[in-house]
Protein backbone atom coordinates (compact mmCIF):
# COMPACT_ATOMS: atom_id res chain seq x y z
CA UNK A 1 0.00 0.00 0.00
CA UNK A 2 1.06 3.57 -0.66
CA UNK A 3 2.62 5.63 2.13
CA UNK A 4 1.32 9.16 2.61
CA UNK A 5 4.77 10.72 2.19
CA UNK A 6 5.06 9.56 -1.44
CA UNK A 7 4.26 11.80 -4.45
CA UNK A 8 0.59 12.34 -5.20
CA UNK A 9 0.90 11.60 -8.94
CA UNK A 10 2.13 8.53 -10.79
CA UNK A 11 2.40 7.83 -14.52
CA UNK A 12 2.92 4.86 -16.82
CA UNK A 13 2.93 4.22 -20.55
CA UNK A 14 3.15 1.04 -22.64
CA UNK A 15 3.35 0.47 -26.43
CA UNK A 16 0.90 -1.26 -28.71
CA UNK A 17 2.04 -3.73 -31.35
CA UNK A 18 1.84 -5.01 -34.90
CA UNK A 19 1.32 -8.77 -34.96
CA UNK A 20 3.23 -9.92 -38.02
CA UNK A 21 2.09 -13.54 -37.78
CA UNK A 22 0.74 -16.17 -35.40
CA UNK A 23 -2.00 -14.21 -33.67
CA UNK A 24 -4.90 -16.37 -32.39
CA UNK A 25 -2.49 -19.21 -31.50
CA UNK A 26 -1.78 -17.51 -28.14
CA UNK A 27 -5.43 -17.96 -27.13
CA UNK A 28 -6.53 -20.95 -25.00
CA UNK A 29 -7.39 -23.75 -25.44
CA UNK A 30 -5.22 -23.87 -28.59
CA UNK A 31 -2.24 -22.40 -26.74
CA UNK A 32 -2.60 -25.05 -24.04
CA UNK A 33 -3.12 -28.10 -26.25
CA UNK A 34 -1.09 -27.35 -29.36
CA UNK A 35 1.20 -24.49 -28.34
CA UNK A 36 1.21 -21.15 -30.10
CA UNK A 37 3.81 -18.99 -31.85
CA UNK A 38 3.41 -15.25 -32.38
CA UNK A 39 5.83 -12.79 -33.98
CA UNK A 40 5.14 -9.16 -33.16
CA UNK A 41 6.80 -5.76 -32.87
CA UNK A 42 6.00 -2.94 -30.48
CA UNK A 43 5.13 0.43 -32.00
CA UNK A 44 5.17 3.97 -30.63
CA UNK A 45 1.41 4.20 -30.36
CA UNK A 46 0.99 3.94 -26.62
CA UNK A 47 -1.52 3.64 -23.82
CA UNK A 48 -1.02 6.23 -21.09
CA UNK A 49 -2.19 6.13 -17.46
CA UNK A 50 -2.05 8.82 -14.79
CA UNK A 51 -2.93 8.20 -11.15
CA UNK A 52 -3.67 11.19 -8.89
CA UNK A 53 -3.96 10.16 -5.28
CA UNK A 54 -6.20 12.16 -2.95
CA UNK A 55 -9.81 13.07 -2.34
CA UNK A 56 -12.64 10.91 -1.07
CA UNK A 57 -13.90 9.27 -4.27
CA UNK A 58 -12.49 6.60 -6.55
CA UNK A 59 -12.74 8.33 -9.91
CA UNK A 60 -12.03 6.69 -13.29
CA UNK A 61 -11.68 8.72 -16.48
CA UNK A 62 -11.22 7.01 -19.86
CA UNK A 63 -10.41 9.77 -22.32
CA UNK A 64 -10.25 7.35 -25.25
CA UNK A 65 -13.79 6.08 -24.58
CA UNK A 66 -15.20 9.35 -23.29
CA UNK A 67 -16.43 7.63 -20.11
CA UNK A 68 -16.21 8.56 -16.42
CA UNK A 69 -17.08 6.48 -13.37
CA UNK A 70 -17.12 7.46 -9.70
CA UNK A 71 -17.36 5.17 -6.68
CA UNK A 72 -17.63 6.09 -3.01
CA UNK A 73 -15.39 3.20 -2.01
CA UNK A 74 -13.94 -0.10 -3.18
CA UNK A 75 -17.33 -1.73 -2.79
CA UNK A 76 -18.35 -0.08 -6.04
CA UNK A 77 -15.67 -1.86 -8.05
CA UNK A 78 -17.89 -4.76 -9.03
CA UNK A 79 -17.12 -6.81 -12.16
CA UNK A 80 -18.79 -5.82 -15.42
CA UNK A 81 -20.45 -2.54 -16.22
CA UNK A 82 -18.49 0.53 -17.27
CA UNK A 83 -14.68 0.51 -17.54
CA UNK A 84 -14.26 -3.14 -16.46
CA UNK A 85 -10.49 -3.24 -17.12
CA UNK A 86 -9.78 -0.19 -14.95
CA UNK A 87 -11.90 -1.51 -12.09
CA UNK A 88 -10.33 -4.94 -12.33
CA UNK A 89 -6.83 -3.45 -12.09
CA UNK A 90 -7.69 -1.57 -8.92
CA UNK A 91 -9.34 -4.64 -7.41
CA UNK A 92 -6.09 -6.55 -7.92
CA UNK A 93 -3.79 -3.66 -6.95
CA UNK A 94 -5.68 -1.41 -4.51
CA UNK A 95 -4.29 1.91 -3.28
CA UNK A 96 -5.17 3.68 -0.05
CA UNK A 97 -7.76 6.44 -0.01
CA UNK A 98 -9.37 8.26 -2.90
CA UNK A 99 -7.85 8.80 -6.32
CA UNK A 100 -8.43 9.79 -9.92
CA UNK A 101 -7.25 7.30 -12.54
CA UNK A 102 -7.01 8.78 -16.06
CA UNK A 103 -6.31 6.78 -19.22
CA UNK A 104 -5.73 7.87 -22.81
CA UNK A 105 -4.64 6.14 -25.99
CA UNK A 106 -2.62 7.15 -29.04
CA UNK A 107 -4.80 4.87 -31.19
CA UNK A 108 -8.60 4.67 -31.54
CA UNK A 109 -10.50 2.07 -29.50
CA UNK A 110 -10.90 -1.26 -31.24
CA UNK A 111 -7.91 -0.61 -33.52
CA UNK A 112 -6.66 -4.21 -33.32
CA UNK A 113 -3.25 -3.00 -32.15
CA UNK A 114 -3.40 -4.56 -28.69
CA UNK A 115 -4.55 -1.37 -26.99
CA UNK A 116 -6.33 -3.13 -24.14
CA UNK A 117 -3.25 -5.27 -23.46
CA UNK A 118 -1.06 -2.17 -23.49
CA UNK A 119 -3.52 -0.40 -21.20
CA UNK A 120 -3.47 -3.34 -18.79
CA UNK A 121 0.32 -3.29 -18.67
CA UNK A 122 0.34 0.47 -18.07
CA UNK A 123 -2.26 0.06 -15.31
CA UNK A 124 -0.15 -2.58 -13.58
CA UNK A 125 2.86 -0.30 -13.97
CA UNK A 126 1.24 2.78 -12.46
CA UNK A 127 -0.48 0.95 -9.61
CA UNK A 128 2.69 -0.99 -8.76
CA UNK A 129 4.61 2.30 -8.67
CA UNK A 130 2.02 3.79 -6.30
CA UNK A 131 2.23 0.70 -4.08
CA UNK A 132 6.07 0.80 -4.09
CA UNK A 133 6.21 -2.63 -5.72
CA UNK A 134 8.86 -3.38 -8.33
CA UNK A 135 7.86 -5.77 -11.12
CA UNK A 136 10.03 -7.24 -13.84
CA UNK A 137 8.76 -7.02 -17.42
CA UNK A 138 7.57 -10.65 -17.53
CA UNK A 139 5.67 -10.29 -14.25
CA UNK A 140 4.10 -7.07 -15.47
CA UNK A 141 2.87 -8.85 -18.59
CA UNK A 142 1.51 -11.83 -16.66
CA UNK A 143 -0.25 -9.65 -14.10
CA UNK A 144 -1.80 -7.52 -16.86
CA UNK A 145 -3.13 -10.69 -18.52
CA UNK A 146 -4.57 -11.79 -15.18
CA UNK A 147 -6.24 -8.39 -14.78
CA UNK A 148 -7.84 -8.52 -18.24
CA UNK A 149 -8.66 -12.18 -18.77
CA UNK A 150 -9.29 -13.53 -15.28
CA UNK A 151 -10.35 -10.53 -13.17
CA UNK A 152 -12.19 -8.53 -15.86
CA UNK A 153 -13.28 -11.71 -17.71
CA UNK A 154 -12.36 -10.33 -21.14
CA UNK A 155 -11.14 -13.31 -23.23
CA UNK A 156 -7.90 -13.19 -25.18
CA UNK A 157 -4.31 -14.35 -25.44
CA UNK A 158 -1.07 -13.03 -23.99
CA UNK A 159 0.85 -11.62 -26.94
CA UNK A 160 -0.38 -8.03 -26.45
CA UNK A 161 0.72 -7.84 -22.83
CA UNK A 162 4.18 -9.22 -23.59
CA UNK A 163 4.71 -6.83 -26.51
CA UNK A 164 3.66 -3.92 -24.29
CA UNK A 165 5.90 -4.95 -21.41
CA UNK A 166 8.98 -5.80 -23.49
CA UNK A 167 9.06 -3.52 -26.53
CA UNK A 168 11.04 -4.52 -29.63
CA UNK A 169 10.60 -7.47 -32.04
CA UNK A 170 9.91 -10.88 -30.49
CA UNK A 171 9.04 -14.47 -31.22
CA UNK A 172 6.72 -15.47 -28.39
CA UNK A 173 5.88 -19.14 -27.82
CA UNK A 174 2.93 -20.28 -25.75
CA UNK A 175 2.39 -23.60 -24.01
CA UNK A 176 0.09 -22.61 -21.19
CA UNK A 177 0.94 -21.51 -18.61
CA UNK A 178 4.48 -21.01 -19.94
CA UNK A 179 5.54 -18.23 -22.30
CA UNK A 180 8.84 -18.34 -24.16
CA UNK A 181 10.47 -15.01 -25.04
CA UNK A 182 12.91 -14.89 -27.93
CA UNK A 183 14.06 -11.49 -29.24
CA UNK A 184 14.17 -11.28 -33.03
CA UNK A 185 17.25 -9.37 -34.16
CA UNK A 186 16.27 -7.32 -37.21
CA UNK A 187 18.97 -5.62 -39.27
CA UNK A 188 18.73 -1.86 -38.50
CA UNK A 189 18.59 -0.89 -42.18
CA UNK A 190 15.84 -3.44 -42.79
CA UNK A 191 13.93 -2.21 -39.75
CA UNK A 192 14.10 1.30 -41.20
CA UNK A 193 12.85 0.00 -44.55
CA UNK A 194 9.95 -1.76 -42.88
CA UNK A 195 9.10 1.34 -40.89
CA UNK A 196 9.04 3.37 -44.11
CA UNK A 197 7.10 0.84 -46.20
CA UNK A 198 4.51 -0.42 -43.71
CA UNK A 199 1.13 1.20 -44.32
CA UNK A 200 -1.07 0.98 -41.22
CA UNK A 201 -4.73 1.85 -41.69
CA UNK A 202 -7.65 2.01 -39.26
CA UNK A 203 -10.94 1.11 -40.93
CA UNK A 204 -13.04 3.19 -38.50
CA UNK A 205 -14.99 0.00 -37.75
CA UNK A 206 -14.44 -2.58 -35.02
CA UNK A 207 -16.66 -5.63 -34.76
CA UNK A 208 -14.48 -8.24 -33.10
CA UNK A 209 -15.90 -9.41 -29.79
CA UNK A 210 -15.48 -11.97 -27.06
CA UNK A 211 -18.25 -13.89 -28.82
CA UNK A 212 -16.07 -14.23 -31.93
CA UNK A 213 -13.13 -15.48 -29.89
CA UNK A 214 -15.35 -17.93 -28.03
CA UNK A 215 -16.93 -19.16 -31.26
CA UNK A 216 -13.56 -19.85 -32.87
CA UNK A 217 -12.14 -21.67 -29.87
CA UNK A 218 -15.30 -23.66 -29.33
CA UNK A 219 -14.96 -24.80 -32.93
CA UNK A 220 -11.41 -25.89 -32.19
CA UNK A 221 -12.57 -27.81 -29.13
CA UNK A 222 -15.24 -29.58 -31.24
CA UNK A 223 -12.54 -30.65 -33.67
CA UNK A 224 -13.77 -28.44 -36.53
CA UNK A 225 -11.29 -29.30 -39.30
CA UNK A 226 -11.45 -25.91 -40.98
CA UNK A 227 -10.73 -23.98 -37.78
CA UNK A 228 -8.10 -26.43 -36.57
CA UNK A 229 -6.34 -26.38 -39.93
CA UNK A 230 -6.42 -22.59 -40.04
CA UNK A 231 -4.90 -22.30 -36.56
CA UNK A 232 -2.08 -24.66 -37.53
CA UNK A 233 -1.55 -22.63 -40.70
CA UNK A 234 -1.32 -19.44 -38.65
CA UNK A 235 1.20 -21.07 -36.32
CA UNK A 236 3.32 -22.13 -39.30
CA UNK A 237 3.17 -18.56 -40.59
CA UNK A 238 4.57 -17.40 -37.26
CA UNK A 239 7.62 -19.64 -37.67
CA UNK A 240 8.08 -18.56 -41.28
CA UNK A 241 7.91 -14.88 -40.31
CA UNK A 242 10.82 -15.22 -37.87
CA UNK A 243 13.12 -16.35 -40.65
CA UNK A 244 11.84 -13.75 -43.11
CA UNK A 245 12.57 -10.93 -40.66
CA UNK A 246 15.99 -12.27 -39.74
CA UNK A 247 16.93 -12.62 -43.41
CA UNK A 248 15.68 -9.09 -44.16
CA UNK A 249 13.53 -10.53 -46.97
CA UNK A 250 10.86 -7.92 -47.63
CA UNK A 251 9.03 -9.93 -50.29
CA UNK A 252 8.88 -12.97 -48.01
CA UNK A 253 7.61 -10.88 -45.07
CA UNK A 254 4.81 -9.58 -47.30
CA UNK A 255 3.97 -13.07 -48.58
CA UNK A 256 3.77 -14.53 -45.06
CA UNK A 257 1.51 -11.66 -43.98
CA UNK A 258 -0.90 -12.55 -46.76
CA UNK A 259 -0.65 -16.26 -45.97
CA UNK A 260 -1.46 -15.59 -42.33
CA UNK A 261 -4.45 -13.46 -43.37
CA UNK A 262 -5.77 -16.23 -45.65
CA UNK A 263 -5.78 -18.68 -42.72
CA UNK A 264 -7.20 -16.04 -40.39
CA UNK A 265 -10.21 -15.50 -42.63
CA UNK A 266 -10.97 -19.23 -42.46
CA UNK A 267 -11.56 -18.98 -38.72
CA UNK A 268 -14.86 -17.11 -38.92
CA UNK A 269 -17.16 -15.82 -41.69
CA UNK A 270 -17.10 -12.27 -40.29
CA UNK A 271 -13.32 -11.95 -40.16
CA UNK A 272 -13.09 -9.79 -43.32
CA UNK A 273 -15.56 -6.91 -43.31
CA UNK A 274 -16.72 -4.89 -46.30
CA UNK A 275 -14.56 -1.98 -45.13
CA UNK A 276 -11.53 -4.25 -44.98
CA UNK A 277 -12.23 -5.61 -48.47
CA UNK A 278 -12.36 -2.08 -49.91
CA UNK A 279 -9.17 -1.16 -48.08
CA UNK A 280 -7.35 -4.26 -49.38
CA UNK A 281 -8.38 -3.45 -52.93
CA UNK A 282 -7.18 0.15 -52.63
CA UNK A 283 -3.88 -0.85 -51.02
CA UNK A 284 -3.29 -3.49 -53.69
CA UNK A 285 -3.88 -0.98 -56.46
CA UNK A 286 -1.45 1.40 -54.74
CA UNK A 287 1.34 -1.20 -54.69
CA UNK A 288 0.86 -3.45 -51.66
CA UNK A 289 3.04 -6.57 -51.71
CA UNK A 290 0.99 -8.22 -48.96
CA UNK A 291 -0.91 -7.48 -45.80
CA UNK A 292 -3.27 -8.64 -43.09
CA UNK A 293 -5.57 -7.54 -40.33
CA UNK A 294 -3.88 -6.17 -37.24
CA UNK A 295 -5.08 -8.22 -34.29
CA UNK A 296 -8.06 -10.54 -34.31
CA UNK A 297 -9.76 -9.17 -37.44
CA UNK A 298 -13.43 -8.32 -38.11
CA UNK A 299 -12.63 -4.64 -38.45
CA UNK A 300 -10.07 -2.59 -36.62
CA UNK A 301 -6.85 -1.97 -38.56
CA UNK A 302 -4.98 -3.56 -41.44
CA UNK A 303 -1.36 -3.14 -42.39
CA UNK A 304 0.42 -3.69 -45.68
CA UNK A 305 3.98 -3.92 -46.97
CA UNK A 306 4.21 -1.45 -49.84
CA UNK A 307 6.60 -1.54 -52.80
CA UNK A 308 7.92 1.90 -51.84
CA UNK A 309 7.36 4.62 -49.26
CA UNK A 310 3.95 4.03 -47.66
CA UNK A 311 3.18 7.75 -47.65
CA UNK A 312 2.68 7.65 -51.41
CA UNK A 313 -0.35 5.39 -50.91
CA UNK A 314 -1.99 7.43 -48.15
CA UNK A 315 -4.44 9.25 -50.42
CA UNK A 316 -5.57 6.01 -52.06
CA UNK A 317 -6.51 4.33 -48.79
CA UNK A 318 -8.02 7.39 -47.10
CA UNK A 319 -10.40 7.62 -50.06
CA UNK A 320 -11.99 4.39 -48.74
CA UNK A 321 -12.69 6.08 -45.39
CA UNK A 322 -9.70 4.53 -43.62
CA UNK A 323 -7.36 6.53 -41.41
CA UNK A 324 -3.58 6.15 -41.78
CA UNK A 325 -1.73 5.68 -38.47
CA UNK A 326 2.01 6.28 -37.94
CA UNK A 327 4.45 3.37 -37.65
CA UNK A 328 7.57 3.83 -35.52
CA UNK A 329 9.15 0.80 -33.84
CA UNK A 330 9.22 0.98 -30.03
CA UNK A 331 12.43 -0.41 -28.60
CA UNK A 332 11.29 0.22 -25.03
CA UNK A 333 8.32 -1.41 -23.32
CA UNK A 334 6.42 -0.29 -20.24
CA UNK A 335 7.69 2.79 -18.39
CA UNK A 336 6.48 4.14 -15.04
CA UNK A 337 7.48 7.15 -13.00
Q: Where in the chain is the domain with CATH 3.30.70.890?
A: 188-325
What CATH number labels 188-325? 3.30.70.890
Q: Where in the chain is the domain with CATH 3.30.230.10?
A: 9-185
What are 43-71's pLDDT values in tens digits? 999 999 999 999 999 999 999 999 999 99
Whether the CB-CB separation of 47 and 164 falls below 8 Å is answered with: yes
Residue 6 clears pLDDT 60, i.e. is over it: no
Q: Is CATH 3.30.230.10 the right assignment for the domain spanning 9-185?
A: yes
Question: Residue 281: exposed, middle, or buried by beta-carbon count in 10 A (0-12, 13-18, 19+)?
Answer: middle
User: What confidence score (pLDDT) does residue 2 get?
Assistant: 44
What are 8-42's pLDDT values in tens digits? 999 999 999 999 999 999 999 999 999 999 999 99
User: What confidence score (pLDDT) does residue 205 get?
Assistant: 83
| Alpha helices in 198-334, H assignment, sequence order | 210-222, 225-246, 250-265, 274-285, 314-318
Residue 206 clears pLDDT 90, i.e. is over it: no
Report the pLDDT averaged over residues 242-258: 98
Report the pLDDT averaged over residues 125-147: 97
User: What confidence score (pLDDT) does residue 209 get?
Assistant: 64
User: What confidence score (pLDDT) does residue 1 get?
Assistant: 46
Rounded Cα distance between 154 and 152, Å, is 6
Rounded Cα distance between 252 and 231, Å, is 20
pTM over 0.85: yes
What are 308-320's pLDDT values in tens digits? 999 999 999 999 9
Amino acid sequence: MRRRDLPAEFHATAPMRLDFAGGWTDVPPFSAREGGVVVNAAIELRSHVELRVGGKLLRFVSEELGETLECANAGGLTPGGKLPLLKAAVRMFPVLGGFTLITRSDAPPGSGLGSSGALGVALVGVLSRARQEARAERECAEQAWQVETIEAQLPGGKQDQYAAALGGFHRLSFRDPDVGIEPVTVDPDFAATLERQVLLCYTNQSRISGDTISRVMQGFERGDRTITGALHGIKAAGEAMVEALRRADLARVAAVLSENWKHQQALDPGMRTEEMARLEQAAGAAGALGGKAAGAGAGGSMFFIMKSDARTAADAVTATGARVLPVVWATEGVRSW
